[in-house]
Amino acid sequence: MNAGGFRAMRARMAAALAMGHLVRYAQKGEPQELHRAIAACRRALALTSEDDPLYPERLSGLGDALSMAFDHGEDKALLREALSLQERAVRAAPPGHPAAGMVRVSRGIALINDYRSGGPPGHLDQAIEVFAEADSLLPPRSVEAALALSNHAEAYHRRYERDGRRADAREYAAKLRAAVAATPQGDPALIFRSAKLAAALVLVRDEPGAEDELRRALDVVRAGLPGVPEPMRREIHLIAGALLYGELPPLDHEQLDQLREISRNLRERGTIGTDLRAAVLSDLGGAVVEQAMRSGRIEEIDGAISMLRDALREAPPSGKERAAVLTNLGRMLGHKMEWMSDLSGVDEMIDVLRQAVETLPAGHPDHGLYLVNLANALALKHGVEGGDALQRELIGCYRQAVRETAPDHAERGIALTGLGTALFGRFERWGGRADLDDSIASHRAAVEATPAGHHYRPLYLANLGSALGRRHEVTGSTADLDAAVAALRECVSTTPPLHPHRGGWIASLATVLVMRFDRVGERDALTKAVSLYRQALDEAPKEHLQRHMILTNLGRALLRQELPEEAVAVMREAVAAAPPTNTQAPTGLATALVLRFFQAQDGDLTGEEYAALALSLLRGEEPPAAELAERRRLRQGELLDEAIAILREVLDRSPRGEFDRARAAGQLGTALHVRAAMTGRGRHLDGAIRTLRGAAAGAAEDEPVLSITRYHLAQALADRWRRSGDERDREQAAREFAAAASVETAAPAWRAGVAKHWGEFVAEHEGPAAAVLAFATAVGLLDAAAWRGMRRQEQERALSGFQGLASDAAACAIAAGRPELAIELLEQGRGVLLAQIIDARPRHDALRVAAPALADRLAEIQDGLDTVEDLDRRHVLAREREETLAAIRALPGLADFLRPPPFADLRAAAAEGPVVVVNVSRYRCDALVVTAEGVTLVPLPGLGAQEVAERAAGFVEAVGAYAHDDDPDPELLERVPAALDWLTEVIGRPVLALLGAPPLPGATWPRLWWCPTGALSLLPLPAITVDVAASSVTPTLRALIHAREQAAPTAQGRPLLVALPSTPGADDLPGVARESEVVRRLLPGAICLEGPSAVRQAVLDALAASPWAHFACHAEQDPGDPSQGRLLLHDGPLTVRELATARLERAEFAFLSGCETSRGGDVLADECVSLAATVQLAGYPSVIGSLWPIADRHAPVVAEAVYAMMTGGGTRPPDPRAAALGLHVAVRALREEHPGLPILWAPFTHIGP
């Protein structure tokens, strides 16, 4: 035998030895046998060459053994190795190879194992695809095919559990049916697969023939069960024990005798005769209900009730057996009420459950649970009929149940959650906070007392989540809101797909997501909530007792999506489904009608009106405009009248002091105010004010609704003051605005909006100087409105409604003679997101000395906020950040840690030269010249907010035409020099009069920084001081201070050059080649990413290691969404949002030689969102960019001048401190060459120290 033959023989021996060990492991379950099998498999594989036909089998065999070892010990490393081996085996055995089918079976099993252990969801889908390949490759009806089909079925089963799709349940049954057919008689696997088939058929039991097939499968299992090995028998019991032993209902009454014979739990009771029959009937009735809950076939409950009535007739006259039948019957009557809205049995239900409590022997350990069932029945009746006496009785019943149920009782949770629900109901009626807190404590105790997998745990989680969400509404606690979302997500994920309560619990999850939207403006949460409400309506039984609440909440969510017409239709359905005592559905309908009225104000037409208009046009007639306008007016009035009538009716039947009464009163007052505005009648306005005052007096002090009510009261009082001139109304309106803004439980964005309206009202009628407090209040809420737990897009959306607020606040402070406060307000109200980035990267020297553990914790949290996308996790991290900051600020000397800095700290920005902050407001415009000594006010009477906006728009249009039109209109281009002349006149001259004359020839150019606000940031302010100073721009004073702190030269690392003379989908840039040559010459040793190598990930990786970076490529700004500003790389754009999360610790200087890299947006102007500012915050303290598209031929010239200044003509490493001067020299040289074309030399800007 040659060496190769001897090696192959050794491999076969090792493989045979491995198989022997695996057989013994299967028989005895001893881990050492499995370990020996793996070792033998490894030897067999090592001895087998890759071209050996047995090589795929050896790979797969080792993978199978490792998968088995993972099952035994759950070591993920074993599973990862198994997956890799199985993948190699599949590649080594293409179709046609003898082992092709079986290696795919093994690969599929490994993928299922990985999914089951927390691997990617896609692995389950891959497993289904791999098994499908195996099915097609294996001989039909073979042992191997049966194994493949059985595992294929398992993959479908797990996907059905994951997604709940009916098609996967059908495939699950179909594959098992085929596996059973392919399994030989006498094979023990036939019994096992038949049991799995029976379990699968339960899921599709309502399909034709499924019940007969289920009966046959169970017969096979019962007949063969005694002969299968004990381990397999235990597994069969787990799979189908419920079907075999009567825990699920048999298929018909003929099998009752069989149930009596095989039901293990009945035999253990030892009962005989009629007692046994009563027990069987009672268990069977309960089983029918359990089956109905799993399958969603709630109509089966009538059959269960019939069986329980029969059982009651057969039961003994007293004792625990009769009590059990009574309580089951009472529960079934309650289920029927909930699921089918059938209220006919409510009194019978309570009577039966009272009998159950009285019949149960004294001292029985389940006496407390029987009381729970009675209390549940009383709660159902109270939900329909109301009544304080009934509420007191049911709460007392629950309290007694908790006292009588032992702390270690397995079902104690049901008593605790029942009490929690009853207390919650009383809180909703009367608003007592103690009831709400006690409710949450009871629900939480129920969850903590109940292990995962318990059938009632989802119920407890649902109740806890709903109560926590409600407390969040009352207190504004984000911790409660996050806990509510987490509890309800767990509830829904652990509830079987067809459970009749699942729809209601899905709706509860939707409700807390709406709360999240209300709190932080997270639109994804609102969109998801609407989808969940619709899903809940699909899943909840049509007759469900709480269906009206799902509809009401869906309607409210649709209103938030600004869809009042659909909301009205949904709310009408909710009112029709609600019991007479319900007030939330009609109040919601009235709200929708009022909002629909406002929508109708825009002149929309009904279908009938459109038809009339179209007919008149077809006839060649004049449109009946007057007639249509009158019809619209009447229809609008009808909407408002209906809303008012509904709200009056709600108030008429709501007792004074009831919690929801204040909400309805507030809505009525708002509707009356709208009517007053529509009719112009003073008595209507007086009535609205009286109603709103009553609503405010009746609302709880810590309820967000109080803020809403006081705001509408303020608006109504302001309207009456405008009509009557009564100063008392004006003063009261201002007080109500202030009170509305001070309700801390209201959402920060709402409060900021209210404070803004307050400031505008006071400024308009008392003068800007009187509005400082109001505007300062609004500014102070902006950081919370853009809460760090939100995604960047949502933060931007939240801030978009407050542009110009900081400038208005500063103008009012200036009018009040407080210029330093004006600077503080501008810093706090502009660049909110920029400040959050700065706060995320502070120097923690003092903190690290005082509390190193807190410093580490804060850094860890911030790292998470910079990288985590999952919204639930972001919310938790943001809340933990707030808690950590509170702990830090409690330390001596750290009370102001990461608080907005005072002016005394901000003036450090002017350490190397003055910073000119140009504030543009509707109230006044000024320059605030900040120096190391303080701030000097320079009024700018020639500047106006409206003119700035118009000039900026015309300027942007002009530079856009220059960049994109082959033959731009010369008159349009003239706007550019005209804008510079205007800026020089209205800003430059007044400011320069303060700063003094330009330097003498040969003297060092002084430094100057511009900090523009609003639309002024779109204009080239540095160009107007090019003969006076080397000017830079800074988004805020804090940004300049931060950049200066980061600017210590390191001179470590290589420069980075990113150059794209050609970019897919964009015009070529011929000048890039020349620019690249300049950079290579003056920055020798640069890392060059050019053309196809300039891809996003490579650039990001290189930035992390490069202190100097030069980009010569296309760049674009999106004026409507400036965070989508982007550098165009070879494989796609690198956006502002992506760069904003970077942390470049070694950076010094970046040159963004692309179009519009310094330009912000038309929106979010106060947020200073540009590529250059973002690159600065990412770590490059000094950045050069451009305000508008630059000429390709001029970019290399400017770059050469800048780098020559920074490197001393290439004789030293670049000095970033010389960047501003280098750009100043380059711009002046370019101006000399093109003196009449500022469009060529003025776009370049420097940001930083």
User: So what's the pLDDT on residue 1074?
Assistant: 92
Positive or negative, the Cα torsion across 248, 252, 253, 257? negative
The phi, psi pair for 936, rounded to 5°, reads -115, 130
Weakest mean pLDDT among 248-252, 436-440, 442-446, 804-808: 248-252
User: So what's the pLDDT on residue 249?
Assistant: 35
Q: What is the pLDDT of residues 689-705, one digit of tens each?
A: 998 898 888 877 777 88
pLDDT at residue 385 tops 90: no
Q: What is the pLDDT of residues 1174-1221, one digit of tens each?
A: 888 778 899 999 988 888 888 899 999 999 999 988 888 888 899 999
Gap between the Cα atoms of 25 and 1115, Å rounded: 65
More confident of the two residues 1108 and 846: 1108
pLDDT at residue 947 tops 50: yes
The DSSP line for 918-961 is EEE-SS-EEEEEEETTEEEEEE-TT--HHHHHHHHHHHHHHHHH
DSSP run (H or E) holding 23? helix 3-28
Task: Find the mean pLDDT for residues 796-815.
Answer: 92
pLDDT-based confidence at 842, cuts 50/70/90? low
DSSP run (H or E) holding 207? none
For the chain, give the percent of residues with pLDDT over 90: 29
Weakest mean pLDDT among 614-623, 636-645, 897-906, 1007-1016: 614-623
- CB-side neighbour CA atoms (13 Å) of 343: 10
User: So what's the pLDDT on residue 731?
Assistant: 94
Weakest mean pLDDT among 69-73, 77-81, 188-192: 69-73
User: So what's the pLDDT on residue 1121?
Assistant: 77
pLDDT at residue 343 tops 90: no
Q: Which residues of 798-835 are buried (b: 16+ CB within 10 A; e: fewer)?
A: bbeebbbbbbbbbbbbbbbebbbbbbbbbbbbbbbbbb
Gap between the Cα atoms of 58 and 38, Å rounded: 11
User: So what's the pLDDT on residue 220?
Assistant: 84
pLDDT at residue 425 tops 60: yes
1064 exposed, middle or buried (CB, 10 Å; 0-12, 13-18, 19+)? exposed
Closest CA to 418 of 438, 443, 440: 443
Gap between the Cα atoms of 404 and 1027, Å rounded: 89
User: So what's the pLDDT on residue 620?
Assistant: 39
Q: What is the pLDDT of residues 187-246, one digit of tens each?
A: 878 888 888 888 788 777 667 887 788 888 888 887 887 777 765 665 565 455 445 543
pLDDT-based confidence at 272, cuts 50/70/90? very low
pLDDT at residue 271 tops 50: no
Closest CA to 342 of 371, 296, 302, 288: 302
User: So what's the pLDDT on residue 232?
Assistant: 65
Q: What is the pLDDT of residues 637-682, one digit of tens each?
A: 788 888 888 888 888 877 665 556 778 888 888 888 888 877 777 7
Largest CA distance in the chain: 119
pLDDT at residue 58 tops 50: yes
Q: How many residues does the chain have?
A: 1249
Q: What is the pLDDT of residues 856-868, one digit of tens each?
A: 888 888 778 777 7
More confident of the two residues 848 and 38: 38
pLDDT at residue 508 tops 90: yes
Gap between the Cα atoms of 758 and 764, Å rounded: 10
User: So what's the pLDDT on residue 329?
Assistant: 81
Q: What is the pLDDT of residues 469-506, one digit of tens each?
A: 988 888 778 888 989 999 999 999 988 877 778 888 99
Secondary-structure breakdown of the chain: helix, strand, coil percentages, each rounded to the nearest 5 = 70, 5, 25
Closest CA to 898 of 852, 942, 864, 847: 847
DSSP run (H or E) holding 273? helix 273-295
User: So what's the pLDDT on residue 738?
Assistant: 94
R_g (Cα) of the chain, nearest Å: 38
pLDDT-based confidence at 948, cuts 50/70/90? very high
Virtual torsion, Cα 527, 529, 530, 536, nearest 10 deg = 150
User: So what's the pLDDT on residue 342?
Assistant: 62
665 exposed, middle or buried (CB, 10 Å; 0-12, 13-18, 19+)? buried
Task: Find the mean pLDDT for residues 440-453.
Answer: 89
What residues contact residue 932 under an 8 Å CB cut-off, 6+ apart?
A: 907, 908, 910, 911
Relative to beta strand 1007-1012, strand 1030-1033 is parallel
User: So what's the pLDDT on residue 115?
Assistant: 79
Gap between the Cα atoms of 1039 and 625, Å rounded: 57
More confident of the two residues 1047 and 751: 751
Strand-pair partners of 925: 920
Task: Find the mean pLDDT for residues 1049-1067.
Answer: 83
Q: What is the mean pLDDT of the chain?
A: 82
With contact defined as beta carbons under 8 Å apart, do 1164 and 803 qualify? yes
User: So what's the pLDDT on residue 281?
Assistant: 44
Q: What is the pLDDT of residues 248-258, one digit of tens each?
A: 333 333 333 33
Closest CA to 1059 of 1087, 1100, 1095, 1090: 1090
pLDDT at residue 11 tops 70: yes
More confident of the two residues 1012 and 324: 1012
More confident of the two residues 520 and 435: 435
pLDDT at residue 1104 tops 90: no
Closest CA to 794 of 668, 881, 720, 878: 878
pLDDT at residue 247 tops 80: no
